[in-house]
Structure 1
Amino acid sequence: MNLQDRYDECTDRVAAIDNVLSLLPRSPSAVGVLTALGTLEDLARTWTGDHLLRPGGSPDSVQRSAESYEDVAEELDAQATALEGRASDVEAGLDAAAGRTAATRVRAFIGLAGLEARGIRVIADALKAYADELDDGQSRFDRHAAGMRSARGDAFTVSAPPADWDDSHCAATMIALHNVYDEARAALIACRDALGTVIEAERRLRFAFTDASGYARLCGLPTSRTVNIVDGILALADGIGDPDRAVVSHDEWVAYLAARDELSEAERKRLDAALDTAEAPDERQIIIAALATGAGLALTLALALKLRTMTQKQIQAVAGLGLPEITNEDAAEWSSLTTPDGTVVTQMTNTTCGSSSLLMLAAQRDPFLALLIAEGEFVDGYVPDYVSDVTLIDRLPEAGLTSAERLRFLQEEIRIQTNKFTLWPGTWLGSAPWGYGDEVSRILDADVDLEYSLIGPDSDAQALIGRAITAVDSGTPVPFLVGDDTGVPRHYVLLVGHNGDELQFYEPWEGEVRTVPIDEAASGAPQGAYGWWKSIYGAAVPAD
């Protein structure tokens, strides 16, 4: 019997007591009292079993494991410090250009060590928290399980009324019965709550390990015949603070390697020259993401040249409409996403929450699209694949639209595209869920499971959240469909990050990245991260 089974068993035992209490006579006869005593003894025989076994595990052992992880993280920090010294020595010992190049390569490993240390500390902190909660849960469970055993013993010591009983004897016996039931009920609820503490602690620990896997994803970089580990570290590890919002996801990196391997030696040299002359990590990652789209080397190099003429804010927009620059602290403060001219990237009509989330998702994987959304520009006339079917899209750069007008146009067109074959009244109801799933699959170039309900909130929203966390920790944002509890889905939001106990959503109504604690995400209470809707109706998660 696992912890959840034991939790459920305690709940059933409490329900059984409540049922008996509701049936006890208020003015019992002697026969009624004797019947109630028999029922108490029968029920008390069920107040034992596996559900009253303490949760397993040793808090001390878990704490020691946490300390071991922390020691490894400190060792990585020490290695990073030593590498920085070596980088400085190399830079000073060689001529200017060679010294900078060599130092850059050494410092790339500092970024890798930093990523590993952060991932390991995520695990260490989670283990420490789990040890504390396990210790608390076990202590409370032991205390209240003893109370349960006491109540069970008391159940067999309640005396029947004497032969010459009267109403006062019956009343006294019934009071004693009630006291035993109350004692048992309180102990069972307390045992169940202690089990719930440990169950929740285990769930948080699992989520922490998936959070750490995001760092591991960037540390375990795949290579190819034309890319060694140093190149990979230079491309991805350097400059990334939160792997959930790295400019290049694992899938994009794999696509980049495949596209790079198809280039001739001369073409690879041109690509490497563009990467080497990039002035910041996000510029290198934009170049990699561009080649990963399949647009080809010429367009990738043209975008690289364009980056050199841009401000840092413009570059951040091309890196995913600024989303990769939102830190965990920013998300906690509900930070707005804006185009370089200050326009908030929000849904521009009441029915474009779905299409604005789709555009945000697509822009994370296509810097050409991010450039179009943020600046209204193409690179050498290239139309990004996701908007290639939009009416008059080739004329958009010369239309003279403001950023807000451009956002509205694209959102409306994507809404129409989403509903094209659905017979869904999008003008009034926005994006059809089944059409939306097809759009997500198209963006990710992979199958997705869009589990949704049009008749009420998802009955297993917590499991859906778990799958979504796994996806976002592997670098793939996940759209959610939310609403109220009346059976009507009303709004789309985009899960863009997971940090510890919190989820981070792009909420298109306000154009902000907002946080919600994991344990409140499926609570049924209004959430700012959901645009103040409260129930989850579905999510488009990558298929297993």
Structure 2
Amino acid sequence: MPWTLTSAVARIAGLVGVSERRPAEEPATSEPLFARAFQRAVDRASAADAKALGVARDQMGDDAPVLYRAVASGAPISAVAALAAAWDGLDPEARDAVGNPVMRPQSHLRWVHVEARQVDQTTCGAATMSAMLMQGDPFVALWVVTGRTLADYIPPEVLAVMAEDRPVRGLDERWYALQRALHAQTTTSALGPVAWPRSLGTPPWKVDDNTRYAGLRFRGALVDDSSPEALAPVLAHARRALGDGIPVPLYSSGDSALGIDSVIPRHVVLLVGDTGDGFLVYEPGSARILPLADADLRPDSGRLPALGNWSRASWVVLPVPRRS
């Protein structure tokens, strides 16, 4: 059977009694992640701040979930209130893009007129992380789409772009600059004090450290797709995350049938939807949202467009449940 490095390591670990650590299950809840985050913020706020959050929520109306994401991003209440005040004044296309950048029905991932393609062959991981960041933080999405910041609040990733002092006048320039900033962030000190060569893309073990989404922690895990039984726990965790509004970064690779140089993780995509018998996947090389069936995640499936025309799943980045 053709093998990948990650599936081989996972199987060897199982044989010697060292199972792959994956996030534990979290108690089921019917309340979405971001709504819970908003309610926690209200409960912990002063009376004045709690009132301000309530007013902002009412201003957003049916788009209140965008405000919940803004609160979960860790932005100050002044910025959250400014977002609510500015919301109705945004251009409808911009409002749609900021309101739900990734996890909405679409065949191509684009914001206004710009397709969400990776900058070059080394930035698939950075593009995936950037899209996920925009989904989790409306202030980053607002800056990418419109160039605006609110109430003197600048998200840290946007601040990193500004520190480079490159021209970012257009949406495309801001999107590319965000990718470059995250690429630099994930490749710096990737091997202890030694930087990871940027030409090799994004090291899998750095994505979990640098993913900022709703204040959650993330953990990378090996994927063993050699059998449905081995793969089932990964798919279950991914579905649980998607059900809570959390996209899931997934690395893909080839296997030994395609050559020894393809057995390591080679590309990164983002699971953005659960179809019941598969997933919807943002593939940054094509800027498309593509279907990926559970049944196709097997050793003999061949090249899959949803995996960037690689054939195997090899590494997944999953949220770690909060401790109560």
Structure 1: gaps (5+ residues): 1-215, 222-249
Deviation of 1:540 after TM superposition, in Å, equals: 0.7
In the alignment, what sits opposite 1:208?
A: none
8 Å contact kept, 1:275–1:287: yes
Aligned to 1:314: 94
- The equivalent position to 2:297 in structure 1, one of 492, 502, 521, is 521
The answer as to whether partners of 1:481 and 1:489 remain within 8 angstroms in 2 is yes
Note closer, same or farther for the CA distance 1:352–1:511 as it changes in structure 2 (3 Å cut). same
The separation in 2 between residues aligned to 1:506 and 1:358, in whole angstroms, is 11
Asked if 2 retains the 8 angstrom alpha-carbon contact of 1:419 and 1:432, the reply is yes
SS in 1 for 2:114: coil
Check the 8 A contact 2:208/2:217 in 1, yes or no: no
**Alignment root-mean-square deviation, CA:** 2.6
- Distance in 2, matches of 1:463 and 1:353, equals 25
Question: In 2, distance between residues paired with 1:364 and 1:374?
Answer: 12
Counterpart of 2:108, as a letter, is S
Shift of 1:507: 0.7
1:251 partner letter = L
Paired residue secondary structure (1:325)? coil
> What SS does the corresponding residue of 1:392 show, helix, strand or coil?
helix
Q: CA deviation at 1:312?
A: 2.3
State how far apart, in whole Å, the 1-side matches of 2:65 and 2:320 are: 27
Residue among 54, 59, 84 paired with 1:277 = 59
Structure 1 residues 391 and 429: alpha-carbon distance in aligned structure 2, compared to 1, 3 A threshold? farther
In the TM superposition, what are the counterparts of 1:110-129 in structure 2 within 5 Å? none
Q: Does 2:135 correspond to 1:364?
A: yes
Higher helix share: 1
Contact between 1:348 and 1:411, CA under 8 Å: does it hold in 2? yes
Residue 482 of structure 1 contacts residue 492 of structure 1 at CA under 8 Å; is this kept in 2?
A: yes
Higher strand share: 2
Amino acid in structure 2 at the alignment position of 1:464: V
The match for 2:189 is 421
Q: Deviations over 1:387-437 (max 9, x none)?
A: 4444616x67xx452222222211112111001111454432111111122
Q: What is the identity, as a one-letter code, of the residue corresponding to 2:304?
A: Q
Q: 1:262 aligns with which of 34, 44, 51?
A: 44
Does residue 336 (structure 1) correspond to residue 117 (structure 2)? The answer is no
CA distance in 1, matches of 2:214, 2:75: 16
Partner of 2:277: 501
Change (3 A) 1:262 1:458: same
| Mapped partners of 1:260, 1:542: distance in 2 | 24
Do 2:72 and 2:215's aligned partners in 1 also have CA atoms closer than 8 Å?
no
SS at match of 2:189: coil
- CA distance 1:428–1:410, change in 2 (3 Å): same
- CA shift, 1:337, in A, is 1.5
The 5 A counterparts of 1:470-481 are 470-481=240-251
d(CA) in 2 for partners of 1:292 and 1:513? 26
Matches within 5 A, 1:143-182: none
Alignment-derived partner of residue 346 in structure 1: 117
After TM superposition, what 4+ stretches of structure 1 lie above 3 angstroms from structure 2?
Answer: 262-271, 385-391, 423-426, 442-447, 457-463
1:464 aligns with 2:240: no
User: Alignment identity in percent?
Assistant: 27
Number of residue equivalences:
283
What is the Cα deviation at residue 470 of structure 1?
2.3
Q: Letter of the aligned partner of 2:62 in structure 1?
A: P
Q: Deviations over 1:163-183 (max 9, x none)?
A: xxxxxxxxxxxxxxxxxxxxx
CA offset at residue 311 of structure 1? 2.3
**Which structure has the bigger radius of gyration?**
1
- Asked if the contact 1:286/1:319 (under 8 Å) is kept, the reply is yes
Residue equivalent to 1:235: none
Distance 1:272 1:448 in 2: 30
1:241-256 equivalences in 2 (<5 Å): 250-256=32-38
Q: Which deviations, in whole Å up to 9, do the C-alpha atoms of 1:71-121 show, x marking residues without a partner?
A: xxxxxxxxxxxxxxxxxxxxxxxxxxxxxxxxxxxxxxxxxxxxxxxxxxx
When the two structures are superposed, what TM-score results if normalisation uses the length of structure 2? 0.78
Structure-2 residue corresponding to 1:378: 149
Contact preservation (8 Å) 2:137, 2:213? no
